Structure 1
């Protein structure tokens, strides 16, 4: 059982505005340098180094050395799930005091984005709904699973699914903008990776929003019944 002290330490680390900005910036699953994360957090490189060292020591971030540079990424899918859940809670219990004008970038994030290594936003939720509707997946509050029909559907699309074991195979992840589940775990990661590798989706510069390509639009429509 997690101790109160450990819980408080993780909460305090994630609660600092600069560190929260860094964690949020890494939610697209890619690794960023200390310089890039300093710019995101609005702090000096020296201050960023101190924050990053604490996050690595606590197990929230993983660090890789490549030549002279150090790259940082979220340490696990569990950390990404924590960040996504905090975003949901923050949006629910702390509504803005005045209306916030949202621009095209926000609209793109709501349409489709990466949540660590799986798809989120309206696209991610629609994909989850489509799999459930055709009996390819079962999703409940306590968990999710891919059915035999689901495995056959994805195999027919050459979507490589890992064998059960290791990380959580399939789970629901509450979407912070849609407030409904999208699909996470190894299955969600496989769907997202296939989309990138086969040109169904592509990243949008400077954000974790993704864009559905014309090919992707046809594939999502023809195989999942989604108008993406």
Structure 2
């Protein structure tokens, strides 16, 4: 949930200020530019096409899906993502799979404890492997990677960036510094490249081009 909404007429100033705080940080600046370029939002939000893109993205990474509401059980049960949710949530769950340690990918909700959509709380809590602090850190990494994937897909990544409070207190350099740190870690882990682009994005784009040409 967004803590402090930024009015639309203030967004250009907020984006410019945030970008200015990233001067001298080329990787973070490139990543932010990908996100900021989705403002203003001119296309649809949570369209059937965007949901289909999320499902396709999951399958391209070998992740199973099930067209069911996660409120029936779990968002991720160790085998499939439930995809009767908003497009941004599907992409976020793909990012969870990419960020999670391989040994936790078979656990309910990636061993982080119950997600907000999960209703089978006892089972999800039993699979939890990380501390609260570790969970919060992984959620931040997942959030940012998912947002960068939304930008890659041409979806309104800036809305998720705002909703997940990456621009809370955008006037302060410390807000940009928080972003810089997480971008650097994603790069160190090989999850994004030097352009701030998800590392599997080029293969994804090439695969889609081949499918279109077939």
Does the alignment reach a TM-score above 0.5?
A: no
Q: Higher strand fraction: Structure 1 or Structure 2?
A: 1
Larger Rg: 1
Q: Higher relative contact order at CA 8 Å, sep ≥6: structure 1 or structure 2?
A: 2
TM-score category of the 2 structures, normalised to the smaller one = under 0.3
Q: Higher helix fraction: Structure 1 or Structure 2?
A: 2
Q: If the length of structure 2 is used for normalisation, what is the TM-score? A: 0.27
